Structure 1
Amino acid sequence: MPRKKALPHAVVPDSVVAVKEDVVAVNRDEGSDPLIRISNIEVIYDHVILVIKGVSLEVHEGHIVALLGANGAGKTTTLKAVSNLLGTERGDVTKGTIELRGEKVEKMTPSDLVNRGVVQVMEGRHCFEHLTVEENLLVGAYTRRDGKAAIQTSMEKVYGYFPRLKERRKSQAGYTSGGEQQMLAIGRALMANPSVILLDEPSMGLAPQLVEDIFEIVKRLNQEQNVTFLLAEQNTVVALKYADYGYILENGRVVMDGDAASLAENEDVKEFYLGMGGGDKNFSNVKSYRRRKRWLA
């Protein structure tokens, strides 16, 4: 199997380069084109603020790919660039291309992308609070034209993955817990019968056990329904546990990428994102050390 191709990312230390060169890229099916290809994109808000600075990444069908990094790194903006939702926040892709199955998405509307199987689950869930759980799920099937029977089959499938939603199906969504609302948001996306789900911060505001439960379901959906996931997540430990491949963003750039297992063992990732740095350092030393070790040029 060929080694992973080098991507046009920022300069990284020799130790990291050595690790990357030895990594087998599990998110690439040998000989196949990616389902989603992002090539050197830049995103600007309000015609002034440059947020994404030359990001390139690939997502292959049937894989879970994680966008990792701190708050403000550009993860959500990258997802919204793929789903064409940047316009709602006065954002624009000003450079580069985004392709879905080889077709450029820049001229597609968000509804066009939903019809092509790409659905985004927004950060913060965004359930319709005054609708019931079941009504929220039906909203997810709004674009479908395959009949009530098929939609009902999808509903039962969602309830199979999220039995708690079936118990609460007549409850107003606004009266459900944060974990139930996250389940509802994912379930609503599934009602659109997607091939790709863009999942933004699924762990936000949830207890650790609920986070594990949500990611277990994501893994099941990936394995049993062949749903491809591109997810943005600050919880690097959990994301790398369940993902196949990861990209780490800092200040709008990809600074490292590799298969999830290799990233989880990388010493820089352990220190900066997994809280496993060795040695005793006071706060000022940590800041100085991070400046010296920063991957960006």
Structure 2
Amino acid sequence: MKKFIATLLAFGLVATLGACGAKESETTNPPAATGETGATDTTETTELQTIKVAATPVPHAEILNACVDMMAEKGYKLEVTEYSDYIIPNTAVEDGEEDANFFQHTPYLDQFNTDNGTHLVSVAKIHYEPMGIYPGKSASIEEVPDGGTVAVPNDVTNEARALQLLAAQGLIEIDPEAGLNATPKDITSNPKNLEFTELEAAMLPNTVEEFDLNVINSNFAMAAGLNPATDALASEGADSEGAQTYANVLVVKEGNEDNEAVKALIECLTSDETRAFIEETYGGAVVPVF
């Protein structure tokens, strides 16, 4: 009888040790996730903080989308919303619907704030887009007839820039004191009696055949399938007043300049990777300034 009880105790001890060994093994080496029922997934997921940025499609949204992976590595989900005008991207940031925008230069931003009572600030210069003169009814600048027609942007800053470019080609002369505030009223010499039509900047690529010449912002030209490097009859030089003044900027609402997500985005937009993307993608039609 004593021998039988000893046997039972020995068997129980072995079973207990076996069970403990199995339990320790499961704890030390948990099974990998296989997708099968009952498998354990020990992967920790980190939720990315979203930053919303408004942009015009080309090149701004394209440049931002090139930063998506870099932003994810920094812990942020970059959400880009495309707009086809120059108004809503600013009002959306002012109203808090978007965290930032990327489409405009500082003179336009300053004028927008003045006209609309908004509180938007630039936090980084990224690139400039040389404004170009594109053919329409006339195939070249030399072929523009007396009384020829020219389409220019209707906003104050871009119209002055367009007139300065036309002046650089010898088509007109402008009062030097007008500078980058010039309008057709500041034209002091117009030997070909050119007639100017002011249109919303985004509309200019759609009406090129209606005018002899068309002065178009590069972002809208590219969005319409025009290549500023090959299709423009003349463009702003890198040393022009327009190029130096009209660098495109990342914009936020005043008070958000030190937001960590915004700082991360600035780092991405001014990185060597982004510089390479701009240079390789646009071939001089978009020029980094950082």
Check whether TM > 0.5: no
Structure showing greater Rg: 2
- Given the two structures, how large is their TM-score scaled by the length of structure 2? 0.28
